[in-house]
Structures are given as structure tokens and as C-alpha cells.
Amino acid sequence: MCAHEANRSFMIQGLRDAIPIVVAYLPISMTFGVLAASGGIPWPLCILISACIYAGASQFMLISLVSAGASPLSMAITLLLVNLRHFLYGTTLGPAFSSWPERLKWLAAFGLTDEVFAVSCSRALDRRPNPSYQFALILSCYIAWISGTTVGCLAGRAIPNSVSGILQFSLPALFIALLFLNYRKWSSLLAAACGAVLAILFQYLELKSLGIIVGAMVGSAVGTLCSKWRTSPSESE
């Protein structure tokens, strides 16, 4: 098989692997577009947010922070904390991409969402990622996300405020689902509970933005300490 045919085969495989992600991305990104448009964010800015940030949880969080009147610094710190997990994604897949040119590594890193990481990680166990495969996977998901956002923005103007108000619950519902889907230990639940209590406390103190940051940091620290405390007796034996 020649190099051209091999690259084409990798590209087709990447498109096939992207289908489940695309199907999931479209309704989520449409919901973001609807909420952003109904919240008063201009549609070009909504699309720019999806194009530049390209992270579902962070984008929904951004809408919530903008609605709460958070400062730009608080929004930047919060989004960085939410996306900090991507550092671990890059560290995990780094050795598999070690032979790639630097410019391709940067492009691939931008498209490394949670779902793309899961697919890429499973493929990297079998063989080193091929650029044709990887970018077919990344671009398909990226285009689907921006397309869904665009449709949601256009539809958001026609949707009544009562319906858009119901859709605003998708943000807390998203994080509740992520919490219980990823729940494995009591330390995880304790971390979430500590973060929630602190966020509510700071809200009553009219420090909503600071409460999100402090709740995330303290909750993570409590969960880590609890996890180490529970595993230390077994390790000492």
C-alpha cells in the first residue's frame, strides 16, 4: 500500500471514530448557543467562544460567571482550574506523539478534548497516532462543535424566554452528571460537598466568584487528603 492510500485509510478511520463524538457534541453545543444567545451574548461572540475555548464545561461555566457579573480575573482563573485536567491528558499522550513535528503537536493539543483523548488514548495503545487519523478525528469534532453552536445561536433568538430559562438548568445538571458518573470513592463525594458548601457560603457573603475558586481549591485539597488517609493503612501493611 502506497503512502497516499495509507493516509487515506487512516483518515477514513478517524472520521469513523469521530461519529459518536459528533453525535454527542451537536446537542450540547446547540444548548450552549441557545443559552448564550438568550443571555444576551452576541452571536458572533458565541461562535468565537466555541472556536477559541472549545471546552464544553468551561463554556457553560463562562455563561454562568458572566450572568453572575464575575470579574475577568475570576473568570480566567476559574476556566483555567476547570481545564487543568488537559495538562494531564497531554502528559499521558506526550510519549506517543514524540516523533511528531512541534507545529503538529500544538495543533493536536488544541483539539484534545475529553472525548478525543479517550479515543486517542485507546488508539495509542495499539500503535503510534498517525497525523491523518488524528486530524480527521479532531477536525470532525471541532466542526461539529462550532456548527452546533451556530445553530443554537440562531435558534436562541426564536426560543421564548420561558424555554431558555429551563435550558439554563443544563449547567448544574451537567456538573451533577459528571460528578456521579465519575464517582468512585467517598473522597470524591467529600470533595464535591466541601466545594459546594464553600460556594454557597461565599454566595451569601456576596462573593460568588471567589467562592467558586476557593470551593474548587479547598474541595480538591480535602479530597486528596482524604484519599491518601484511606489508602495509607493498606500501604503500610
Residue 175 lies inside a defined structural domain of this protein: no
pLDDT the model gives residue 137? 92
pTM for this entry: 0.69
Q: Are residues 13 and 122 in the same domain?
A: yes
Q: Are residues 34 and 145 in the same domain?
A: yes
% pLDDT > 70, the chain? 75
Q: Is 164 exposed, middle or buried (0-12, 13-18, 19+ CB in 10 A)?
A: middle
The mean pLDDT value for 6-27 works out to: 86
pLDDT the model gives residue 37? 83
CB 51 within 8 A of CB 174: no
For residue 42, is it left (φ>0), alpha (ψ between -120 and 50) or beta?
A: beta
pLDDT in tens, 75-100: 888 888 778 778 878 888 888 888 88
Alpha-carbon distance of 45 to 57, in angstroms, equals 17
At 139, the pLDDT band (50, 70, 90 cuts) reads very high
Q: Which domain holds residue 71?
A: 3-169
In the DSSP assignment, the letter for residue 130 is: P
Domain final residue pick, 137, 169, 201: 169
Q: Are residues 126 and 234 in the same domain?
A: no
pLDDT the model gives residue 179? 57
Q: Are residues 153 and 189 in the same domain?
A: no
Closest CA to 34 of 156, 123, 116: 156
CB 64 within 8 A of CB 36: no
pLDDT in tens, 141-200: 999 999 999 998 888 766 665 665 565 565 556 556 555 655 556 666 777 788 778 878
In the DSSP assignment, the letter for residue 128 is: P
Domain final residue pick, 147, 169, 191: 169
Q: How many domains does the chain divide into? A: 2
Q: Are residues 68 and 16 in the same domain?
A: yes
The mean pLDDT value for 55-62 works out to: 84
